[in-house]
């Protein structure tokens, strides 16, 4: 029945772990003895087969019990129910034996019948408790009904096969014909087993063994009914071997039960759909049953009672089964719709649903307005408190919005922390009024304020007008207004106006232009000297990028770098700047060999492993010593540096590249990071320098930072020195270097080279 290696795998596992190898071997030997005894027709065959059946069933029950105790928890019920089934078999067979010895050769008593039937119930329940079996009551009922259909279909087929040649008078004895129910019930169990046997690997062998056991039982019961009907059965008939064999297979199945560590197969979320034959399986025998009924009628000219009742029952069960399936399909369709159109977190309609409603509203040609609401600072909530808190917040926001909007509109979640409200119809409330109501509803309670979990929201409004060609336009306009509300201080609302839209469009255009700027050579660099405050000699020059826009003219970095950072275009731009600056520095090496070039790089570079390669390629390509290049990084870029970033900086330092902390004092200014970063220079932000004359605190700050930088062995550069007074102050404080309009504005390379010559001449 099982291939060789499988039998081997089962036998060894059955032996090694569970109920002991001895049990299996003894039970199998017992079976062999019985088979030999019956085959040789030795005297006392009936008693031998009774005893063998009781003993093997007893052992199998014990094996199942052990499997229940030691096996994985999800399989516990499965084995307990099978152990019960075996226990009932022991009981039934023992009673049978006793009554038989008491003088009744074939004691088909109601009590024994009940015990065997109970065994079928517990066996079926075991199969239904299996993990891969349907979880819902309806699903389980459907599986059992499939089994019942197959079982009932067997009745007419069995009738034709078994009773075809039995005298009509004998058939009238219900004891003979009702026996057909046993193989029918076995077949039902076998069908249920096939239905619940999922693709779970570790349970493959146990289920196969149980399947084999049921198949043996179908065969044995059917043969028994046939022999019995023809009056050919006597206790001790060779067919008796089959029952203990079926119990032996159950015991073997318990032996192959997976150990807890292996489990009965991890639950795969995406179980593949069952093959078509599995779905069609219950219906195939129905065809056979119909054929059998016709045959029975043809041969006897009438429909026997059992066949008639069986067919009626079959029709009834089929009807119920179809009803259940139809019902379940409706439920599944509803569930699918829900999954597709409802946001799982908040229970609100999702983007798809919102868009459908909006399109329908636009077709109705009534006034329509869309509000798009985006939380301010939601990312920080997630970062600080974790995603659980973030999810709770989104859920509560959804509820508050629904309450605030009421019947004046419908709320949806578009995704992330973005929500939308659709307002429709002539009697609609003004969208601005609704926005105010929403902002009021979302205003944090004092408790929330304290906890700091509550971000405010920015709302954008767009009303449907002749400019809009589709729902996409309308949502986009609401989003434009929402971004404007965010830019305008957050926690407010804005309505989309033509001016807003144009600004947004021009922003998009500017981004598109910026994409071409590097390739089309629209960028250029200006250089601003950094001088030695004591001698006035130029020590370095900072390269500052400019964009000569074909239409808009010269654009300062403030105008386009934020866009570049947002879009990632900053990477190619800065790469170009590094190369260009190195080439420029190489041209002044003959005049001022000590003067270095400083380049600003965006934080994004620090996260890129290719930064080192870019920098070394640039210096090597220009023939510049690495120590002639300074990379300027802002405090905030450095402060959230991971270990990888610090490593990268250390590698740059090893190459000889210098590193400056730019705009010092404007970021988070956590002093603790200073000693972790391998910097060489610290540039004090010009906002401090600008206030030096009038603000004592600014003076103290510059003084303190200079002292601190000295302690860390960093060269201090005072940025933005414009006046003689500021120059005197930073010199007095002890800054070594200065940068600012007093020493020179950012200018073309040629101008800088001229300064270098002058200084060189001055010094000479």
Write out the residues near ligand C2E by the rule CB under 6 A.
528, 544-545, 556-558, 561, 570, 574, 577, 600-602, 632, 662-663, 686, 720, 722, 739-741, 746
Q: How far is the CB of 484 from Mg ion (least distance, A)?
A: 29
Selection from Mg ion, ligand C2E, none that 417 binds (CB < 5 to 8 A by kind) is: none
Selection from Mg ion, ligand C2E, none that 343 binds (CB < 5 to 8 A by kind) is: none
Selection from Mg ion, ligand C2E, none that 346 binds (CB < 5 to 8 A by kind) is: none
Rounded distance, CA 242 to CA 216, Å? 6
Place of tokens 């405010």: 456
Interaction residues for Mg ion, span 239-298 (CB under 5 A): none
Selection from Mg ion, ligand C2E, none that 561 binds (CB < 5 to 8 A by kind) is: ligand C2E
- Residue span binding Mg ion (CB under 5 A) among the ranges 30-38, 135-143, 244-252, 592-600: 592-600
What b/e readout covers 329-348, taking b as 16+ CB neighbours within 10 angstroms?
Answer: eeeeeeeeeeeebbbeebeb
Q: How far is the CB of 597 from ligand C2E (least distance, A)?
A: 12
- 8 A C-beta contact, residue 577 and residue 612: no
Residue 193's contacts (CB-CB under 8 Å, 6 or more residues apart) are: 127, 207, 210, 211, 214
Selection from Mg ion, ligand C2E, none that 740 binds (CB < 5 to 8 A by kind) is: ligand C2E
Q: Taking the mean position of all CA atoms in its chain, how far away is CA 21?
A: 44
Interaction residues for Mg ion, span 715-734 (CB under 5 A): 719
Q: How far is the CB of 407 from ligand C2E (least distance, A)?
A: 51
Residues forming a β-bridge with 549: 553
Rounded distance, CA 578 to CA 572, Å? 10
Q: How far is the CB of 598 from ligand C2E (least distance, A)?
A: 8
Selection from ligand C2E, Mg ion, none that 577 binds (CB < 5 to 8 A by kind) is: ligand C2E
**Element (DSSP H or E) covering residue 86:** helix 76-101
Q: How far is the CB of 580 from ligand C2E (least distance, A)?
A: 9
Q: How far is the CB of 659 from ligand C2E (least distance, A)?
A: 14
- 8 A C-beta contact, residue 408 and residue 428: yes
Nearest residue to 401 via CA among 430, 445, 434, 376: 434
Q: How far is the CB of 722 from ligand C2E (least distance, A)?
A: 4
Selection from Mg ion, ligand C2E, none that 741 binds (CB < 5 to 8 A by kind) is: ligand C2E
DSSP per-residue letters across 312-363: HHHHHHHHHHHHHHHHHHHHHHHHHHHHHHB-TTT-SB-HHHHHHHHHHHHH
Tokens at 429, concatenated: 């409330």
Q: How far is the CB of 745 from ligand C2E (least distance, A)?
A: 7
CB nearer ligand C2E, residue 197 or residue 530: 530
Selection from Mg ion, ligand C2E, none that 338 binds (CB < 5 to 8 A by kind) is: none
Q: How far is the CB of 708 from Mg ion (least distance, A)?
A: 18
Length of the chain: 764
Collapsing DSSP to helix, strand or coil, 704 comes out as: helix
Q: How far is the CB of 542 from Mg ion (least distance, A)?
A: 6
Q: How far is the CB of 686 from Mg ion (least distance, A)?
A: 7
Helices 498-517 and 557-567: angle between axes, nearest 10 degrees: 80
Selection from ligand C2E, Mg ion, none that 46 binds (CB < 5 to 8 A by kind) is: none
CB nearer Mg ion, residue 600 or residue 701: 600
Selection from Mg ion, ligand C2E, none that 746 binds (CB < 5 to 8 A by kind) is: ligand C2E
Q: How far is the CB of 730 from Mg ion (least distance, A)?
A: 15
Binding mask 659-688 for Mg ion (x = CB under 5 A): ---xx-------------------------
CB nearer Mg ion, residue 133 or residue 571: 571
Considering the rule CB under 5 A, would residue 632 count as an interface residue with Mg ion?
yes
CB nearer Mg ion, residue 403 or residue 745: 745
CB nearer Mg ion, residue 494 or residue 686: 686
CB nearer ligand C2E, residue 153 or residue 578: 578
Radius of gyration over alpha carbons of the chain, in Å?
43
Tokens at 27, concatenated: 């039970």
Total residues binding Mg ion (CB under 5 A): 5
Rounded distance, CA 87 to CA 82, Å? 8
- 8 A C-beta contact, residue 68 and residue 83: yes
- The torsion angles phi and psi of 66, rounded to 5 degrees, stand at -65, -45
Instruction: Give the nearest residue (CB) to ligand C2E.
Output: 740
Place of tokens 């220009």: 622
Rounded distance, CA 122 to CA 128, Å? 10
CB nearer Mg ion, residue 240 or residue 662: 662
CB nearer ligand C2E, residue 6 or residue 602: 602
Selection from Mg ion, ligand C2E, none that 181 binds (CB < 5 to 8 A by kind) is: none
CB nearer ligand C2E, residue 418 or residue 532: 532
CB nearer ligand C2E, residue 493 or residue 743: 743
CB nearer ligand C2E, residue 212 or residue 543: 543
Rounded distance, CA 728 to CA 21, Å? 97
CB nearer ligand C2E, residue 457 or residue 611: 611
Nearest residue to 518 via CA among 547, 492, 554: 547
Tokens at 608, concatenated: 């890129």
Among 600, 619, 715, 755, binds Mg ion (CB under 5 A): 600
CB nearer ligand C2E, residue 160 or residue 561: 561
DSSP per-residue letters across 561-621: HHHHHHHTTHHHHHHHHHHHHHHHHHHHTTT-TT-EEEEE--HHHHT-TTHHHHHHHHHHH
Tokens at 721, concatenated: 């020195």
Q: How far is the CB of 519 from Mg ion (least distance, A)?
A: 25
Selection from Mg ion, ligand C2E, none that 557 binds (CB < 5 to 8 A by kind) is: ligand C2E
Tokens at 497, concatenated: 């106006």
Q: How far is the CB of 650 from ligand C2E (least distance, A)?
A: 21
Residue 2's contacts (CB-CB under 8 Å, 6 or more residues apart) are: 10, 208, 209, 212
Contact footprint for Mg ion (CB under 5 A): 600, 632, 662-663, 719
């Amino acid at each position: 029945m099982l291939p060789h290696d499988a039998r081997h795998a089962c036998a060894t596992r059955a032996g090694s772990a569970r109920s002991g190898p001895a049990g299996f071997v003894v039970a199998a030997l017992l079976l062999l003895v019985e088979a030999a005894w019956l085959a040789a027709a030795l005297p006392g065959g009936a008693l031998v087969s009774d005893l063998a059946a009781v003993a093997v069933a007893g052992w199998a029950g014990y094996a199942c019990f052990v499997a229940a105790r030691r096996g994985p928890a999800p399989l516990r019920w499965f084995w307990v129910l099978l152990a019960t089934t075996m226990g009932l078999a022991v009981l039934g067979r023992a009673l049978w034996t006793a009554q038989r010895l008491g003088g009744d050769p074939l004691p088909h008593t109601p009590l024994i019948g009940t015990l065997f039937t109970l065994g079928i119930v517990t066996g079926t329940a075991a199969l239904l408790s299996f993990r891969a079996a349907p979880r819902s009551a309806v699903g389980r009922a459907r599986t059992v009904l499939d089994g019942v259909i197959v079982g009932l279909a067997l009745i007419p087929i069995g009738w034709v096969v078994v009773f075809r040649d039995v005298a009509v008078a004998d058939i009238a004895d219900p004891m003979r014909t009702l026996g057909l129910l046993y193989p029918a019930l076995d077949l039902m169990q076998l069908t249920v087993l096939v239905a619940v046997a999922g693709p779970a690997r570790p349970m493959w062998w146990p289920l196969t063994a149980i399947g084999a056991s049921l198949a043996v039982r179908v065969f044995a019961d059917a043969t028994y009914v046939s022999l019995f009907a023809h009056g050919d059965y006597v206790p001790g008939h060779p067919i008796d071997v089959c029952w203990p064999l079926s119990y032996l297979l159950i015991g073997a199945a318990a032996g192959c039960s997976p150990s807890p560590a292996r489990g009965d197969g991890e639950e795969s979320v995406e179980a593949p759909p069952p093959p078509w034959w599995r779905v069609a399986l219950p219906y195939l025998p129905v065809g056979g049953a119909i054929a059998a009924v016709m045959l029975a009628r043809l041969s006897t000219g009438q429909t026997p009672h059992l066949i008639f009742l069986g067919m009626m029952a079959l029709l009834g069960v089929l009807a119920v089964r179809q009803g259940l399936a139809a019902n379940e399909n409706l439920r599944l369709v509803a569930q699918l719709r829900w999954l597709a159109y409802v946001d799982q977190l908040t229970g609100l309609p999702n983007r798809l649903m919102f868009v459908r409603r909006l399109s329908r509203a636009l077709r109705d040609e009534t006034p329509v307005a869309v509000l798009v609401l985006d939380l301010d600072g939601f990312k920080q909530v997630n970062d600080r408190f974790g995603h659980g808190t973030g999810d709770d917040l989104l859920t509560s926001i959804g509820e508050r919005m629904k309450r605030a909007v009421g019947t004046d509109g419908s709320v949806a979640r578009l995704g992330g922390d973005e929500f939308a409200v659709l307002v429709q119809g002539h009697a609609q409330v003004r969208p601005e009024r609704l926005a105010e109501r929403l902002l009021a509803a979302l205003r944090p309670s004092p408790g929330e304020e304290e906890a700091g979990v509550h971000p405010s929201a920015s709302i954008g409004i767009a009303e449907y007008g002749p400019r809009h060609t589709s729902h996409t336009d309308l949502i986009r306009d609401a989003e434009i207004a929402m971004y404007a509300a965010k830019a305008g201080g957050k926690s407010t609302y804005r309505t989309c106006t033509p001016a807003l839209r144009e600004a947004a469009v021009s922003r998009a255009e500017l981004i598109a232009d910026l994409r071409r700027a590097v390739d089309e050579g629209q960028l250029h660099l200006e250089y601003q000297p950094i001088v030695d405050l004591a001698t006035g000699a130029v020590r370095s020059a900072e390269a500052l990028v400019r964009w000569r826009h074909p239409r808009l003219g010269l654009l300062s970095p403030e105008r386009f770098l934020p866009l570049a950072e947002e879009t990632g275009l900053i990477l190619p731009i800065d790469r170009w700047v590094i190369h260009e600056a190195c080439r420029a520095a190489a041209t002044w090496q003959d005049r001022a060999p000590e003067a270095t070039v400083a380049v600003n790089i965006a934080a994004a570079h620090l996260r890129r492993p290719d930064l080192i390669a870019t920098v070394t390629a640039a210096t090597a390509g220009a023939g510049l010593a690495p120590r002639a290049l300074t990379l300027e990084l802002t405090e905030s870029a450095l402060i959230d540096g991971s270990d990888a970033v610090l490593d990268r900086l250390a590698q740059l330092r090893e190459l000889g590249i210098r590193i400056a902390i730019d705009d010092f004092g404007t970021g988070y200014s956590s002093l603790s990071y200073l000693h972790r970063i391998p910097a060489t220079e610290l540039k004090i932000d010009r906002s401090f320098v600008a206030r030096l004359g009038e603000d004592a605190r600014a003076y103290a700050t510059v003084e303190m930072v200079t002292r601190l930088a000295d302690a860390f062995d960093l060269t201090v550069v005072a940025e933005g020195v414009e006046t003689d007074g500021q120059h005197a102050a930073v010199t007095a404080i002890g800054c070594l270097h200065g940068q600012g309009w007093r020493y020179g504005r950012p200018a073309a390379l040629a101008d800088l080279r001229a300064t270098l010559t002058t200084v060189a001449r001055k010094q000479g």
